[in-house]
Structure 1
């Protein structure tokens, strides 16, 4: 058979029209799909709620990958799509993501989220502020107030011999056998340095919190190693004396003069007779110590025992450390605080009783 040659141009023309038609359809579909994808990506990169003013705390652990960060942000409803966020991070070549606690918001787009997450100025999950002159039980209350740990659990950990032995191995120059003296109430009393401690992990372990304070005490002790050696004073004795100065000092008090009184009394084998040790022995907070309190049977009672108490009675700031090691050269062996906070120093019992009668007994406050 022979083909009808007259039909070929028609078929060819028809095929060309079909090809052009389907090409146009395909092109249209591609444009529609691309446009749809573009709109989808654009939508996915918009803030979850641009009007939100609520702060959302997000903790990023160390070693987190972009994928785990994206998953966490999605879980806390801070981004719309994990994969789009990851793609955006890679497209922008963003790096340097930080570990820690961040305050983010649904009003933030990916660019602002990345800026926050790569910043080193993120906020801590919580802060623990330890003032000077605080006893261990008070510090336990402060820690408990900022964490989920109870005062009972904190005190148990602070008195745990296993934990203390771990600290001894890690900080051998600071934590010595002195803290295990049988007469000591709490081995780590006075060893938790007064300072502000930020923590970025909301689930920070109790051991880590305590050790941060021990580490700071060790750091301060390192500055005074040569002075302590020159004075033949151990870290424990220095901390103990510093705690007495801290507890006796007022804002207007000269700590170096108070230190001189304690040093002079120790040199003369006189009892230190400092009221804060009696209160520590009694385990009470009182505005005034009465004569009956002075009879408390305790190695911490410096009215009935000579020398330093077995250990610190509170923590002490660096000014008290420095004063403990650098007392003024005086002949004072007595001091008392007036009602306005000023401290009167005297050399003899007669002078002391006279000052006591003038400023305390008669209730004057000049």
Structure 2
């Protein structure tokens, strides 16, 4: 009897334990389900807000243009990744799905000026049209071979700044120092060495610059031009062996003002190198004009006598710094000259054809034939 009672009590105990376990399991299952539900809601809400944010401009108040290059043959993945890398869109994947959802394609390769304030629709339209969605308020075109003072005139013509303010800015010591910190491989201490007339002469790359602000600061405008020179020069830094970057730009600036559109800059560069190797003065007229600060069509003998560091008739080697803004073609010619035995060259008075000579005697004969006699013929015909 006692044994049966004991078994019954054990059965009751086991039943109560199983009820407790079942209750605990139900509680665990309920809590787990609630956690999953809240996680799902949290992820859904978070994902919604993230996607909503990614569909909006990166910074609606930032209209500063960012140059973005889309190479030929770029895929949608490549384009969206490039835009994300330049902080034009917040998320490359979201923009990719935006394009897919809206069935957008046929994007144009090119160089774009985009801003963080642009919507995805505006960016898409820009990529499809091949044009910057925001048109610049004004632009400044700097031709190759232009002197810093003439660049100042262009800036004064397009803005409220004066040429004097421009020249003060490009010569400001603090501004130069800030550029040296930003572009240490381009703007070296040589720009502020003794006898350099203007530290940034030759360092503003010649091209057309769009501006999207009504009145950008002079420092911002000049920095943009220096930045472009840095972009153009940087790929060549490793190949600069005989000359440093300041000397390369100085050399290239001489080519730029000596050469014409039809002239082989590489050949003239080779002549200059030959003269430097022979320790002969370069004897290039534009350096005399730069020394004089007087710009005229013809250099006379007395001009050649000016005692000035930039006068390459008086001093051997390169002048202290650039005398103009060199373009890419002249920079490339400086680094890849054409070899020859020529030590002299001149441009014909009529056709502008360049004639090369190995000796002074030959050079003088060609000068008589292609310059002096042609000038006399022209004077006679005018009479």
Q: Secondary structure at the match of 1:363?
A: helix
The corresponding residue for 2:362 is 351
Relative to structure 1, the CA distance from residue 117 to residue 322 in structure 2 (aligned partners, 3 Å threshold; closer, same or farther) is closer
Give the match for residue 242 of structure 2: 232
The alpha-carbon distance between structure 1 residues 101 and 300, as it changes in their structure 2 partners (threshold 3 A), is farther
Matched residue, 1:269 = 279
Q: Which of the pair is proportionally richer in helix?
A: 2
Give the drift of 1:117: 9.9
Distance 2:352 2:165 in 1: 37
Q: Does 1:317 align with 2:314?
A: no
Query: Is this contact kept in 2: 1:101–1:124, CA < 8 A?
Result: no
- Of 308, 325, 331, which aligns to 1:298? 308
What's the TM-score, normalizing by structure 2?
0.65
2:162 aligns with 150
CA deviation digits over 1:216-261, x for unaligned, max 9? 1111111111211xx3311100000000000100122110110011
Per the alignment, in what secondary structure is the counterpart of residue 301 of structure 2? coil
**1:207 correspondence with 2:219:** yes
The CA distance in 1 between the partners of 2:211 and 2:151, in whole Å, is 16
Q: Does the Cα contact within 8 Å between 2:60 and 2:117 map onto a contact in 1?
A: no
Indicate conservation of the 8 Å contact 2:347/2:353, yes or no.
yes
> How many Å apart are 1:63 and its aligned residue?
3.0
Any conservation in 2 of the 1:281–1:301 contact (CA below 8 Å)? yes
Match of 2:342 among 332, 337, 361: 332
The answer to whether the 8 A contact 2:61-2:117 is kept is no
Q: Is the 8 A contact 2:149 2:167 kept in 1?
A: yes
Would you say 1:250 and 2:260 are equivalent positions? yes
Compute the RMSD of aligned alpha carbons: 2.5
- Deviation per residue, 1:81-110 (Å, 9 max, x gap): xxxxxxxxxxxxxxxxx85999xxxxxxxx
Q: Structure 1 residues 116 and 328 mapped into 2: Cα distance closer, same or farther (>3 Å)?
A: closer
Match of 2:374, SS state, is coil
Q: Which moved more, 1:140-149 or 1:308-317?
A: 140-149
Give 2:67's aligned residue: none
Q: Is contact 1:101–1:125 with CA below 8 Å preserved after alignment?
A: no
Alpha carbons 1:100, 1:122 under 8 Å: kept = no
Query: 1:185, 1:356 → 2: CA distance?
Result: 32
Q: 1:322 to 1:117 in 2, by over 3 A?
A: closer
In the aligned structure 2, how far is the partner of 1:323 from the partner of 1:300?
A: 22
184, 189, 206: which is aligned to 1:172? 184
The superposition leaves residues 134-170 of structure 1 with CA deviations (integer Å, 9 ceiling, x where unpaired) of: 0000001111111111111110000001000000000
What are structure 1's unaligned runs of at least 5 residues? Answer: 1-61, 66-97, 103-113
Cα separation, 2, equivalents of 1:119 and 1:151: 39
1:56-81 C-alpha deviation (Å, 9 max, x unpaired): xxxxxx6339xxxxxxxxxxxxxxxx
Distance 1:179 1:163, change over 3 A: same
Counterpart of 1:162?
Answer: 174
Number of residue equivalences: 263
Find the aligned partners of 2:142 and 2:371 in 1 and give their Cα distance.
Answer: 32
Contact conserved, 1:135 with 1:190, CA < 8 A, in 2?
yes
Q: SS of the counterpart of 1:124? A: coil
Indicate conservation of the 8 Å contact 1:100/1:201, yes or no.
no
Aligned equivalents of 1:145 and 1:314: distance in 2? Answer: 20
Please, which of 119, 139, 155 is the counterpart of residue 127 of structure 1?
A: 139
* Structure 2 gap segments, 5+ residues each: 1-58, 63-113, 127-132, 379-383
Query: 2:280, 2:260 → 1: CA distance?
Result: 23
